[in-house]
Amino acid sequence: MHMADALLAPAVAATMYAASGVAAGVSIHQLKKDDEPQKLPTMAVTAALVFAGQMINYTIPGTGSSGHMCGGMLLSALLGPQAGFLSMIVILAIQCLFFADGGLMALGANVWNMAFYGCFVGYYFIWRPIMHSRWFGEGKGAQRARIIAASILGCVITLQLGAFSVVLETSLSGITELPFGAFVALMQPIHLAIGLVEGLITSAVLVFVYESRPELLREVGAGAGEARRSLKATVAILAVIALLVGGGLSLLASGNPDGLEWALFGNAEEGYAENMGLDEEDFGVASAAADTAGSIQEATSFLPDYAFPNSDSAAGTTVSGVVGSALVAGVAVLICLAGGFFRKKKTTG
């Protein structure tokens, strides 16, 4: 689910950086107020563990495939949402810097999609209420059931939110012709399955921790019924979120009926793609950058002096563009050759 730089317009990337930055700022403020100096090394070691742990392949019984672990839920259950969030930021930064998983520009969006939902939504709306709910009863078995329910529900819901954000950010950036509704219909079900598996793996790890050292888990054993929010209230909040997301979805989809149709009836309809002459303006979400880009292009493409003579200017521009690109490639090759030549000279001389 890591977004790449190329999938984002600068305006969208900057917005997501700002959003994630505010969340990080609030988290840091909170952690400083708590004043637990031993937290920092614990965060670092746990983050490193989750980073490595995400590479473990877990065999999914009955299938040939394998699943991975959900970092956000695990970290916030162990460290709390704020510390978990910061740890996730660092994990995503290392993945992007050293493994090219994600991108420098896309880091803000990735933090939001994967860390924010997983840590804050997952903790405050799912983990904590479930840990305090009386519905599961008393005793060790009930606690285990709570952990399993919270992990699975948490991973599924936060992954759905994340996947939805990916679609939203990509579409807002105006880089894909794939209609919004179709994109959503493609992403959400895949991530439902992934979320389920991630939830199961995460719950297995957390239950193991609970069996050996329950004091490591947040909100566990704090006593049922002491919650600031009851399970009923949580269900109500989740229902509202679902309504909002669903409502927003249908609203966006209705502005783009073809996309919804595509999602509902599939791509079987003949001649369908011809009807899909959409560009980003049609879903009303062209970014400011795309706009300026457009106007700049307009300004440059009418300069007559490099247009192909005796033809319409657009075609002329493209031909000179193709030739020019080939020349640029030639220059690049020359640079490489020169570099190789100088290096050789250095090693021999």
Asked if 182 and 262 touch (Cβ cutoff 8 Å), the reply is: yes
Give the residue with the Cβ less far from another protein, 23 or 161.
23
Q: Are 134 and 225 in contact (CB under 8 A)?
A: yes
- Nearest residue (CB) to another protein, 29 versus 134: 29
Nearer to another protein, 53 or 255 (CB): 53
Cα gap 71→161, rounded to integer Å: 15
Q: Residue 167 CB, nearest distance to another protein (Å)? A: 10
The nearest distance, CB 307 to another protein, in angstroms, is 7
Closer by beta carbon to another protein, 132 or else 146 = 146
Least distance CB 257 / another protein (angstroms): 15
Report which residue type is found at 326.
Answer: A
Instruction: Tell me the closest approach of the beta carbon of residue 234 to another protein, in angstroms.
Output: 25
Count CA atoms closer than 13 A to 21's CA, side-chain side: 7
* Least distance from another protein to the Cβ atom of residue 236, Å: 32
Minimum CB distance to another protein, residue 32 (Å): 7
Our CB check for another protein shows the closer of 251 and 326 to be: 326
Of 107 and 227, CB closest to another protein: 107
CA distances from 164 to 208, 242, 307, 329 (A): 31, 12, 43, 38
Q: Shortest Cβ distance from residue 70 to another protein (Å)? A: 12
DSSP result, 206-248: HHHHHHH-GGGSTTTTS-TT--SS-HHHHHHHHHHHHHHHHHH
**Cα separation, 266 vs 164, whole angstroms:** 20
Tell me the angle at which helices 180-212 and 71-79 cross, rounded to the nearest 10 degrees.
Answer: 40
Chain centroid, CA 263 distance in Å: 22
Q: Are 66 and 59 in contact (CB under 8 A)?
A: yes
Q: Which is nearer to another protein, 5 or 229 (CB)?
A: 5
Instruction: Report CA Rg, the chain.
Output: 25
